[in-house]
Structure 1
Amino acid sequence: MPDTAVRRPLRADARRNHQRILDAAQQAFAVHGAGASLEEIARRAGVGSATLHRHFPSRRSLLEAVFRDRVEALCAKARQYARDSEPGTALFSWLRDFNAYAATCRGLAASLAHEEREPARVRQDEGCTVMITSAAGELLRRAQRSGAARAGLRVDDLLALVGAISLATEHRGDEEQARRLLDLAIDGVRVP
């Protein structure tokens, strides 16, 4: 099917299955993190593995569907900070929000960063990773232009730092340590 093809609306039973899969995935990811068993998610949703994969062809597509609303809210916060704060303050405030978000999503940041890219039929500009990268990139460019952030930094450096902090602290459940580590990282991002 070409990328430009219009998809037909789902039948009522397919819509129900889709929603049941999302609900089961949200619960499983909350308990077991981004690595939760897809077979267990299908079982909890009352569907077969093939049905789950028909709706969500990869783990990444399921993760993106489950966390999309939260990512959109995080990106809206970046736009608000950009409007209401100095560039450095906007970037560092948003990084703290992203760090807190990554801590609550148990492995999502690492999973989205390391999974294989989606098939060509999924538009790249709709993905959570693309939205987060775009939001962070705009804040970083503004902070660099204002002299608040080091010139050589790249947006993927910042996102990798937050992802690494999330990975290092997720099994301990120590949000305070995650905040301290991010403060250390921010000290390295700031222009002295």
Structure 2
Amino acid sequence: MPRADAQRNADALLAAAEEEFASHGVDVNVRAIAARAGVGTATLYRHYPRRSDLISAVFQREVDVCVSQASHLAAAHDPGTAVRLWIEHYARFIVTKPGLAAALHFGDPAFRELSGYFQRHLGPVLQILLDAAAAAGAIRDGVDPLDLLGAVAKLCIPPIGTHDDSRSERMVAMLLDGLQCRANPDRARGPAT
């Protein structure tokens, strides 16, 4: 049973890290993560020898959740709503990772692969959602998925000194409303006279 225990510990550590990162940022003390997972710090370091290994694992796990959400949303909603809900899910992922952007740009070699992982996984699923929404006339045509992901991420970073928890939600909503511009040119021009 050591393998099952090891997997259970790894899963518990990832779940605990997600919660701690959401509450306290990615710079949270690893002892707090180990305590929340119900394991010792030695177990944490056995699974994730460096903090960057743990951050990378959490990031990849959450990217995978975002990817799986795309097909569920596309099956359950019209294309325009699926795009909106998926972007809102992605925005929550970004907002709940204070300090992640700084950590990713710190230069740690462990993070080099994350950018590629992000682009390879999130870009294609968002492209599928965008294509379906554009074909349905719900959003404008020609939106680059990586541009949109970058714009949402930037909108989710609060300005220094700002503590308005709903700001990113409002900003992302405005961006999504903007995607609808020129989605239906006849509607934008109004009735013919």
What TM-score results when the alignment is normalised by the length of structure 1? 0.63
Q: Does 1:105 align with 2:97?
A: yes
TM superposition outliers: structure 1 runs of 4+ over 6 Å: none
2:21 is aligned with 1:29 = yes
Q: CA deviation at 1:93?
A: 2.4
Which of 130, 135, 143 is equivalent to 2:133? 143
For 1:162, give the aligned amino acid: V
- C-alpha separation in 2, matches of 1:77 and 1:163: 18
Separation (CA, whole Å) in 1 of partners of 2:137 and 2:11:
46
Post-superposition shift, 1:73?
4.3
What is the one-letter code of the residue matched to 1:62? L
d(CA) in 1 for partners of 2:42, 2:68: 36
Match of 1:77 among 60, 64, 69: 69
- Per-residue deviation, residues 85-120 of structure 1 (Å, max 9, x unmatched): 332222122212322332233344x369753116xx
1:66 aligns with 2:62: no
1:23–1:184 CA distance, 2 compared to 1 (3 A): closer
Q: Would you say the 8 A contact 2:30–2:41 is kept in 1?
A: no
Give the counterpart of 1:182 among 153, 172, 191. Answer: 172
Structure 1 stretches lacking a partner, 5+ long: 1-8, 119-123
Rounded Cα–Cα distance in structure 2 between residues aligned with 1:174 and 1:147: 34
Q: Which residue of 2 aligns with 1:168?
A: 158
Task: In structure 2, list runs of 5 or more residues that go unmatched.
Answer: 106-110, 183-193
The answer as to 2:155 corresponding to 1:157 is no
Whole-Å separation in 2 of the counterparts to 1:10 and 1:170: 47
Q: TM-score, normalised by structure 2?
A: 0.63
Separation of aligned partners in 2, 1:147 and 1:163: 25
Aligned residue identity for 2:80:
G
Aligned length: 174
Alignment-derived partner of residue 187 in structure 2:
none
Q: 2:41 maps to what in 1?
A: 47
Match of residue 116, structure 1, among 104, 112, 116: 112
Letter in 2 for 1:160: G
Whole-angstrom distance in 1 between the partners of 2:181 and 2:94: 25
Q: Bigger radius of gyration, 1 or 2? A: 2
Question: For the aligned residues, what is the CA RMSD?
Answer: 4.0
Query: SS state of the match for residue 65, structure 1?
Result: helix
> SS at 2:156's partner residue?
helix
Offset from partner CA, 1:7-32 (integer Å, 9 cap, x none)? xx965775576456446534531332
Between the aligned partners of 1:170 and 1:12, the Cα distance in structure 2 is: 44
For residues 138 and 52 of structure 2, the distance between their equivalents in structure 1, rounded to whole angstroms, comes to 34
Percent identity over the alignment? 30
Which range is displaced more, 25-34 or 177-186? 25-34
Please tell me whether residue 93 in structure 1 is matched to residue 85 in structure 2.
Answer: yes
